[in-house]
Structures are given as structure tokens and as C-alpha cells.
Structure 1
Amino acid sequence: MRAIRGATTVSENTIEAIRGAVTELLDELERRNQLEPQDIISVTFSVTRDLDMIFPAAIARPRPGWDNIAMLDVQQMHVEGSLQRCIRFLIHAKVPISAPIHHIYLRHAANLRPDWSFPQSLTASQSAVESKV
């Protein structure tokens, strides 16, 4: 089991804007990681407190193959001055240890983790830890 992180931002707190951002984020996740829904174990979505028009899981659930994935929506802890209108995810999936992981950061959320703009390879110590899990 491997963990994949990602985030995006939306321009406004509307169902349409949130739906577009979540769809774009999940499309990119599947494409860049060659991930099939049956390989996804669980998804936790977090949103900043300024997004409250729709749950990201409600957007993800109708995707082909996503209806049986365990999903949870939570509110991101508020920190003064942090990125606004941000949607994040943490996905646990069955991904081979040898496969690169592409963490997906789009729109203004790309500023959160510029170091993850390229595939993440496991270090030897990470490989040893994950092989025991």
C-alpha cells in the first residue's frame, strides 16, 4: 500500500467550480499514476473552511469504479494566512513498490509542494519501511 497526496484550488465557492477542480485533480491522479479505481483503498479529502457548497467525495463517487471506494470529507485545520479555497486529498492505493508516485498539485496549490512536481522515487530506507507494512 502506498500513499498519494494532492491538492488544488478553486476560484470561487460554487458547486461548478468545486466540481471542475475535483474532476481535474482526480483525472490527473489517474492519468499520471496509471491508477485504476480498483487499486484505490481509501480517499480522505480535506477542504478549507471557505469551501462548503459540495463534498468532494460526492463528486468522486459517480466516477466509473469509484462507487465502492471508502471516502471521507473533512475540514482542513485553519491556519491564518494559509492557502484559501484549497482541496486536498490523501489516497491509499495498491501501487507496486517499484512504481514512481506522482503527487498531484494543481493551480495555486502547486506552491504548496514545488518539490513534488516530479515523480517521487522511494529511497532505500523508505523501501525497507514500506515493504514491512
Structure 2
Amino acid sequence: MVRGIRGAITIKSNNEKDVLEASKELVQVLISSNRIEPENVAQVLFTVTEDVTAAFPAKVLREFEGWSYVPVVCAQEIPVPGSLPLCIRVLLTVNTDVKQKEVKHAYLRDAVKLRPDLTLTNE
């Protein structure tokens, strides 16, 4: 079964360090919460709000062992007025036997406002 596993996180400021650290944190939470192995990942899609321009979030996947061959893309979101600023989102397309209701999505920091119903812990 193919499932989409999604998440989002906000950053304090638009600098390379914040973008990469937040992206890494978000991906680590999704990988560990869902026991994801890179061999089962079809693709990873990152999007950022228009105020996030300091780095490509996808760059962090190079730090994860076995993820070099996973297709990854970054894109900018539609700049909808009033949307949550300084936000990084990710969607992992994964082959898994986990039921859709059992997939663990992660909305961290201020991104919890986007989907409080799907939030893990914000610790």
C-alpha cells in the first residue's frame, strides 16, 4: 500500500542553519514515528512559504544513511494571504502496510496550528 506521510514545522528566522535544523528535526520525527526505511520511500516533497529562501530543506536527506537514491524535490507554496509564515512542509510517499488511520503525521512548533488533529507531541 502507498501512503502519504505529512508534516510541517516553523522556523524562527530565514537563515540556512534554521532551515536545515528544522527540516532535519521534522524528517527525523516522521522516520522514527513511522519506522520508515529509505528503500520503502518513493519520493519526498518539501514545500516552503515564500519567506523561506535561505536553503533547500531537501539538503538534509543527504545526512541520512541510505537516502541518496530517494527522489526529492523542493517547491514554494502559493502565497495565500494570512498563511502561517516561515513554514516548511514535507510529504513522504511511502510503501507500508500501516493503515491510513495509523500513519503518524507530525506538525511541530507553530505548525501545530495547521492540523492540531494530526499532531504527535510537540515536546
> Matches of 1:19 and 1:97 in 2, distance apart?
29
The reply to whether residue 48 of structure 1 matches residue 54 of structure 2 is: no
Residue aligning to 1:101: 103
- Runs of 4+ aligned structure 1 residues displaced above 3 Å come to none
Higher radius of gyration, 1 or 2: 1
TM-score normalised by the chain length of structure 2:
0.90
Residue aligning to 1:65: 66
Residue aligning to 1:126: none
> Matches of 2:12 and 2:119 in 1, distance apart?
22
The reply to whether residue 7 of structure 1 matches residue 5 of structure 2 is: no
Residue aligning to 1:117: 119
Give the root-mean-square deviation of aligned CA atoms.
Answer: 1.3
Whether the 8 Å contact between 2:108 and 2:119 is mirrored in structure 1 is no
- What is the number of residues matched between the two proteins? 118
SS at match of 1:17: helix
- 1:37 maps to a residue whose letter is P
> Matches of 1:53 and 1:109 in 2, distance apart?
19
Task: Give structure 2 stretches of 5+ with no counterpart.
Answer: none
Alpha-carbon shift at residue 19 of structure 1 (Å): 1.0
SS at match of 1:90: strand
Task: Give structure 1 stretches of 5+ with no counterpart.
Answer: 119-133
Residue aligning to 1:122: none
> Matches of 1:109 and 1:98 in 2, distance apart?
24
Alpha-carbon shift at residue 65 of structure 1 (Å): 1.2
Residue aligning to 1:23: 24
Alpha-carbon shift at residue 71 of structure 1 (Å): 0.6
SS at match of 2:30: helix
